[in-house]
Structure 1
Amino acid sequence: MDQKRLARITLEPGKCGGSPCIRGYRIRVSDILSLLSAGASHAEILEDYPSLEEEDIFAALEYAAVQTQHPILIAA
Structure 2
Amino acid sequence: MEIRHYKFNRITMDANKCFGKPCIRGLRMPVASILSYLSSGMTVDEILEEWPELEREDIYQALGYASWTMEERVVLLEEAAAK
Q: Paired residue for 2:50, among 45, 48, 51?
A: 48
In structure 1, what is the equivalent of residue 63 of structure 2?
Answer: 61
Higher relative contact order (CA 8 A, sep 6+): 1
Root mean square deviation of aligned Cα: 1.6
In structure 2, what is the equivalent of residue 33 of structure 1?
Answer: 35
- Is the deviation greater in 62-71 or in 7-16? 62-71
**TM-score when normalising by structure 2:** 0.78
Provide runs of 4+ in structure 1 moved above 2 Å: 70-73
Identity %: 49
**TM-score when normalising by structure 1:** 0.85
The one-letter code matched in structure 1 to 2:62 is A
